[in-house]
Amino acid sequence: MKPSILLAFSVLSLLPLLPLVLLSSKSTPHSPPRSPSPHRLRVFVADLPRSFNYGLLDRFWSLSGPDSRIGVDLDARLRSTLANSTEKDAFPPYPESPLLKQHSAEYWLLGDLETPEASRAASFAERVYELDDSDVVFVPFFSSLSAQMELGWGRKGRFRKRERNEDYGRQREVVDRIKSSEAWRRSGGRDHVFVMADPVAMWHVRSEIAAAVFLVLDFDGRCRFDSKASNGSSSHVIMQHAEVSSLKDVIVPYTHLLPRLHLSQDQRRRTLLYFRGAKHRHRGGLIREKLWELLADEPDVIMEEGSPDATGLEQSTGGMRRSDFCLHPAGDTPASCRLFDAIVSLCIPVIVSDSIELPFEGTLDYSDFSVFVSARDALRAGWLVNHLRGVSEEEKDRLRRNMARVQPTFEYDNGDGNEGGIGPVPSDGAVNHIWKKVHEKLPMIREALIREKRTTPPPEGAAALWRQCQCI
């Protein structure tokens, strides 16, 4: 074969491979960014100064003096260590004081979003950096920490007032910044996510952001009954959707305070029923006092008053681990951290709170590891103790096994010892379950945005009714 013919044949044989060669020669740095995953929650983080999140922690650690509510500084040792440190942490630790730590969901959620992408493969949330790529806009404000700092270190009696209230000042600035953003103007706030893992977080401004998705501990105090509108008739009561709705908002768990007990570590339990906490509560928590009177003198029942300090946590740990059942009556709100401490202690919760909302229902069936008792039955003399004594050992073992399986669901801490809540989240932990619940709200958010395109704004006189109904 002639050399010219051989060369021509060789060139022709390579032509089919030419597109692949050209494709592979493209410079990787100039390739378009990876498209957001359609199977994860795509989260855009709103632009707020550091002073509203990690900078607020810096400020907390610079405080002096005790928490005025309990008269001691439960974080004194760590505060001293940080004060003597020559390096300033970009991601400071969250306080260990039980009054603050139980509300720390905001810290772990932002910590997940701040974790480098290479370590976020297990997270259900994908952080995106273009607003048009996002499903939701996360507002990085530590609202619970802000509220607790005002309650514990602010001017006494000023929390519900706006004057000289630093927490209100922060709330006001956050809302003004967020509502002036292009993201808020685009959606009216319906796709914005605010973490309010404290019943009093964002106290003064909730109604201004009621269209947004709230991550809350329960709905108590936010949805209310309008007794005036009902004309006093108990058969026709109008419920105002003041700021929250089970349709748009997500119930999140308290951060548990007690160490987790694994099923393999469990030992024989000698106490029937255990409770430790404040005896006197307000509103729905009045049932506590009545239960106390009924149960205080019952054999195999321990009812203790205690404060949230290191000694109290140690006593609660021992009490819950030695008891078959842990009483969970309503307090100032239907839910409390005590429920999640019982779960990590493998102490079967006895829930006496008729209006309680629980996190991740739909994914979890709490009756698989808890005992629900109506307030009416619990207040019948002798009924509750007799009912619990009638639960067989086999049934208690079954409830405890089920509880052990769901314990990871309520873990916020990534367990890697990384500072600032930074690091890979457990795939079955609380942070991922929260992101998944927010993801479930997306069809409702999209439907509301589409519907509003054709909706005429209400006349001035109907504005109040419009605000009440905007969350449904």
Average pLDDT score, the chain: 84
103 within 8 A of 152, measured Cβ to Cβ: no
* Cα(79)–Cα(94) distance, integer angstroms: 11
Residue bearing the bigger pLDDT, 70 or 271: 271
The DSSP secondary-structure symbol of 366 reads G
pLDDT digits (tens, 9 = 90+) for 328-339: 997 777 889 999
Q: How confident is the model at residue 64 (pLDDT cuts 50, 70, 90)?
A: confident
Q: How confident is the model at residue 407 (pLDDT cuts 50, 70, 90)?
A: very high
249 within 8 A of 218, measured Cβ to Cβ: no
Q: How confident is the model at residue 364 (pLDDT cuts 50, 70, 90)?
A: very high
* Three-state DSSP state, 382: coil
Mode of pairing for the β-strands spanning 271-276 and 301-304: parallel
pLDDT digits (tens, 9 = 90+) for 303-330: 998 877 778 899 999 999 999 999 999 7
pTM: 0.85
Question: Which of these, 73, 43, 72, 49, lies nearest to 61 by C-alpha position?
Answer: 73
358-372 average pLDDT score: 96
Q: Percentage of residues in the chain with pLDDT exceeding 90?
A: 62
The DSSP secondary-structure symbol of 215 reads E
Amino acid symbol at 118: A
* Cα(144)–Cα(398) distance, integer angstroms: 36
Residue 280 has pLDDT above 90, yes or no: no
Q: How confident is the model at residue 431 (pLDDT cuts 50, 70, 90)?
A: very high
User: Which residues neighbour 343 within 8 Å (Cβ) at sequence distance 6 or greater?
Assistant: 256, 349, 369, 403, 406, 407, 410
368 within 8 A of 401, measured Cβ to Cβ: no
Q: How confident is the model at residue 226 (pLDDT cuts 50, 70, 90)?
A: very low
Residue 115 has pLDDT above 70, yes or no: yes
Structural domains present in the chain: 41-251 (no CATH), 263-410 (3.40.50.2000)
Q: Percentage of residues in the chain with pLDDT exceeding 70?
A: 82
Dmax over CA atoms of the chain, in Å, equals: 110
Amino acid 73: pLDDT: 87
DSSP letters, 27-52, are -GGGSPPPPPPTTSEEEEEP---GGG
Residue 269 has pLDDT above 60, yes or no: yes
Measured in degrees and rounded to the nearest 5, phi and psi for residue 273 equal -140, 135
* Three-state DSSP state, 274: strand
* Cα(413)–Cα(221) distance, integer angstroms: 28
pLDDT digits (tens, 9 = 90+) for 179-198: 999 999 999 999 999 999 99
Which conformational region is residue 63 in: left (phi greater than 0), alpha (psi within -120 to 50 degrees), or beta?
Answer: beta
* Cα(76)–Cα(432) distance, integer angstroms: 32
Q: Please write down the long-range contacts of 384-392, taking CB distance under 8 Å and 24 or more positions apart.
A: 384/273, 384/291, 384/294, 384/295, 384/350, 384/352, 385/272, 385/273, 385/295, 385/298, 385/301, 388/272, 388/273, 388/324, 388/325, 388/350, 389/272, 391/324
Question: Which of these, 407, 415, 442, 440, lies nearest to 108 by C-alpha position?
Answer: 415
Residue bearing the bigger pLDDT, 382 or 246: 382
367-389 average pLDDT score: 96
